[in-house]
Each structure stands twice: as C-alpha cells, then as structure tokens.
Chains A and B, each alone.
Chain A
C-alpha cells in the first residue's frame, strides 16, 4: 500500500453554543477578518440540512470547496464529543485536500449548554452565547460556559432592545469562568472584532510553537501538540498530573515529579490565553 504523505496539521478550533447565538456568523467573521492572512477551512454540523454550509458559501468569505457539511444523524452532541468519527474524517479530508491549512473551524450543530468538543477532535474551542438569549444564561455555567478557551457574548449591539446589561453579563461570565477570557462581540463594534482577531492570532502562535495545551471542559481525552516534527497525540492516565503546560519540551517524565494530581491545574494552566490579552487592545 503506497504511503500517502501526512498533510500539515492545522489548528482545529471548535465553535459551540446554543442554536441561534451566531456561530455561523462568528465563523464568517473570522474568515472575513483573517482569510487574507492565513489558510482556513470550515466544517459545519447541521442537524437537518446543509444550511450553515450554504450560508457560509454564500457569504463569499472563503472558497466554497473549503466549507464542508458533516451530517450527524440527529446527534450533534455525540458527533463532537462521544463519537467524533465523522467530523474527524471531515477535518482530515479537508487538511489533505487543501494542504497546508493553518486553521480548521468546526462548527457544532446548535445544542444545549452541556455540549462541548472532545480534544480528540479539536485543539481549542469557543463557546458562543448571545445577549438576546437572556442575560442570566452566563450565570448558569456548565462545561462550555465555564471552561471553553474563549466565551463569546455575541450581539452586544442588541442589548438595549432586549433589556440586558452587557457589562453585568460579561462580569457574571467571568465569575463563572474563574476569570477565563470572555469577549463581548458585535459585528458593528470594530474594536470587539479586533479583539477576537488578536485572540485567534495569539492562539495560532501558541499552537504553532507547540506550547498550546487543549483545555478540555470535560475529562481529558487524547489530544494533539504541534511541534517541529509535525506534532503528536498523547493522553494522560487519570492519576497523572497535567503539569507539562510550563514545559516546552513536554517530557512525560516530568509527571513523576509534579507532586500529584490537581484537577484545577488544567483550568489554570499557563497556556490559556489570558483574559487581558483578549481585552487589552481597544478597551484602554
């Protein structure tokens, strides 16, 4: 059997969140903002149609062939978490067809607050809420709100019309996330778009250097580290500490001296893009 060259391993970024919060629009915005600088592919997960893929193709932000719809058999939650087979095949096919891609965005089907991506599928994830869904949603927490790499509070321009105090909602979200990054976003607010852009570029840089550590909202599954040799996948036994975040060489022997498991270590790992980097520019 002839060996097929392994394509470049992109940064795989999941976008999850309830129906109608603006996941597709966020992806279109990312493409619009970055498509001239980096090579992007998109996987959509519609429940009943390929509406999201069509919308993105129609938006003209990306070569339509780089946008692929994956069908999830009415199980959007399963397809990003418990059984990522179809999505993983989609990502790998996209990476092979358009090698090299810098970024593959995987949009989940709109689901509930418990739906998050498996690290076996993606390297980092954005969870999207919107102000129109209610100012109290951020307080409800859950794995996506609490521990996604970035929480986006979308459509902030609608806040006056739906009676939501955006600052309060963002501060509630920050509390639920133990000060993890939260981004108030509106397509009419150019500064917020610029903050999204710089968060993404910083993430891409950490991923390329091999220092990015997937922050899994759920139990840790095997995950990927980029490095000069193309990267590798590894997993951790439950009893192991995950203390290699500060170690660029990521020697597994370090686990022995890490001093026992600390479940909070992940959430506070050194590779998370800190909140001030999201919020720094444009708010000063």
Chain B
C-alpha cells in the first residue's frame, strides 16, 4: 500500500485512515500508556470517578492536543482536491515544512509543562512516525526521527491523507478517552462495557468543542488549557517503581 493506492480509494480513503488511526491494533506503540489513570488511581481516584476524569481531560489536555494536530494539518496541507483533481500544489521545501513542525512542537511544549507528559508524547510521536513514513513516504524527509509529539505527527498524517479537520479533532478526543478505558480494564475489576459507555459519553460531552477547534490555523491560537492535577499525576506515574503503564 502506498500513497498512490491510498489516494485511489478516493473520498473513502480518509474514512478508512481515520478508522485505522483510531484502532488499538495500529502498530504504533500506543498501548504503553494509561493517560495517567494508573497514577490517578494510586492517588485516590476511584473507578466511579473515571468517567469524570475522561471529561476533565476533554476540557484540558485534549483541547491542547487536538488544537496542535489541527494547526499542523493546516500548515502541511499544500494541496487541495477540487472535484477529484489535485490542484494548488505548494512550493514549500521539506526543510521549510520541517521547521514549521518544529515551531508547532514548541507551541505544544509551551502548553505542556509536565516533562513526563512531553516525554511520553514524544515517544508516542516517534512510534506513530514509523507508521507515517511507511505509509506516506513523502513525510519521511519532513519529520525527524525524534522530538515530534504525537499530535504533530497525527496532524501531519491528516494533511497527507486528506482527513477533515473536524474528524481529526474527534480522533484525538476518542483516542484519549479510549486509552483511559483500555487501561482501566487492566488496572481495576470492572465491566468492559461500562468503560466503553464512558468513552462515548466523553466524546459526546466534547462534541460542542469540535467545530471551534477545527477552525484553528494559527499556532499561537492553540488552546492553553492546563490541568495541574493531570500534570501532577503524569509526574507521579513517571516515578512509580512498580507500574503496568509507562505513562
């Protein structure tokens, strides 16, 4: 499967790729994180509060991540498909694109004060980059092997694959909640269907934010929605001597 083949799928390609990116079976190394819920449980969070934890993430870290992804997508989208034809190819060099990604990464880092959160996001970014440069080889010269956080890599894929901005925002949100849910099943005794219900509730609660986030184009406008407790738990998680999840 290469870019040409993917493009040949036409409008269906973006939908297929969204499903692929949201699938836990995607080999990108994402199963090593609990999105902080393991540390949260050690610090007094109880199972009955995890749905609220997901919603709290939607109002804070998810807005930062989704905003970063959307802005990246916008910056790298140098082609527009009009009536099935590719037009308006940008003239930007790979080096320039690479510099743009680095700048957006800096904007994301400025809104992510926890070193532990930045570290895991960059590890997950490196894992997703493997997927990106294999399926979309044109991204290879644009993305350094290390240092790009996951939302920047995801936004780059969205640009290469023609994923609409609003769907990209929903993808970030869904993935965030589902990561917590999957980790919960390993950490606490509970009904897996209950966790699945929480994911849908969290995504539904987030839906009113989607449209505004999808319109972002300026890196300076990425939401700065910090969550000190989530950052604190991320730091605590990184120091746990015995843990199931890296983050």
The interface of chain A, by Cβ under 8 A from chain B, is: 1, 4, 47-49, 71-75, 78-79, 82-86, 88-89
A48 and B33 CA atoms in complex are apart in Å by 13
Question: B242 contacts which of A49, A75, A88 (Cβ < 8 Å)?
Answer: A49
CB-based contact B246/A73 at 8 Å: yes
B10 to chain A, nearest CB (A): 25
A87 to chain B, nearest CB (A): 9
Q: Does B25 contact A (CB under 8 A)?
A: yes
Report chain A residues within 8 Å CB of B144.
1
A130 and B186 CA atoms in complex are apart in Å by 29
Report chain B residues within 8 Å CB of A49.
241-242
Name A's interface SS: loop
If A83-B26, A83-B29 are given as contacts, then 8 extra A-B residue pairs at C-beta distance below 8 Å, sorted by A number, are: A1-B98, A71-B243, A73-B33, A73-B244, A74-B186, A78-B31, A82-B25, A86-B32
Number of interface residues of B (CB under 8 A): 27
> Hey, what's the 0/1 contact readout for B32-46 against A, CB within 8 Å counting as 1?
111000000000000
Report chain A residues within 8 Å CB of B98.
1
A111 to chain B, nearest CB (A): 15
CB-based contact B243/A82 at 8 Å: no
B115 to chain A, nearest CB (A): 17
Report chain B residues within 8 Å CB of A47.
244
CB-based contact B27/A84 at 8 Å: yes
CB-based contact B32/A1 at 8 Å: no
Question: A83 contacts which of B28, B33, B242, B243 (Cβ < 8 Å)?
Answer: B28
Q: Which residue of A lies closest to B128 (CB)?
A: A85
Enumerate the 4 nearest inter-chain pairs by beta-carbon distance, A residue then B residue, closest first. A85-B29, A73-B32, A83-B27, A85-B127
Report chain B residues within 8 Å CB of A75.
31
CB-based contact A85/B245 at 8 Å: no
A74 and B187 CA atoms in complex are apart in Å by 10
A78 and B27 CA atoms in complex are apart in Å by 9
Q: Which residue of A lies closest to B102 (CB)?
A: A1
Report chain B residues within 8 Å CB of A88.
130
Question: A48 contacts which of B94, B126, B243 (Cβ < 8 Å)?
Answer: B243
With contacts A85-B127, A85-B130, A89-B127 taken as known, whether A48 is within 8 angstroms of B244 at the C-beta atoms is: yes
Q: Does B80 contact A (CB under 8 A)?
A: no
Q: Does B138 contact A (CB under 8 A)?
A: no
**Those of B231-247 within 8 Å (CB) of chain A:** 241-246
- Complex A-B: 28 CB contacts under 8 Å: A1-B98, A1-B141, A47-B244, A48-B243, A48-B244, A71-B32, A71-B243, A72-B32, A73-B33, A73-B183, A73-B244, A74-B244, A78-B31, A82-B25, A83-B25, A83-B27, A83-B28, A83-B29, A84-B27, A85-B27, A85-B28, A85-B127, A86-B123, A86-B127, A89-B29, A89-B123, A89-B126, A89-B127
**Those of B125-160 within 8 Å (CB) of chain A:** 126-127, 130, 141, 144-145
A221 to chain B, nearest CB (A): 11
A1 and B96 CA atoms in complex are apart in Å by 10
Q: Which residue of B lies closest to A87 (CB)?
A: B29
> Hey, what's the 0/1 contact readout for B204-247 against A, CB within 8 Å counting as 1?
00000000000000000000000000000000000001111110
A4 and B34 CA atoms in complex are apart in Å by 32
B236 to chain A, nearest CB (A): 16
A62 and B152 CA atoms in complex are apart in Å by 38
Q: Which residue of A lies closest to B126 (CB)?
A: A89
Q: Which residue of A lies closest to B142 (CB)?
A: A1
A85 and B33 CA atoms in complex are apart in Å by 13
A7 to chain B, nearest CB (A): 12
A242 to chain B, nearest CB (A): 22
CB-based contact A73/B245 at 8 Å: yes
Report chain A residues within 8 Å CB of B25.
82-83
A47 and B246 CA atoms in complex are apart in Å by 11
Q: Which residue of B lies closest to A120 (CB)?
A: B27
Q: Which residue of A lies closest to B130 (CB)?
A: A85
A274 to chain B, nearest CB (A): 34
A48 and B246 CA atoms in complex are apart in Å by 10
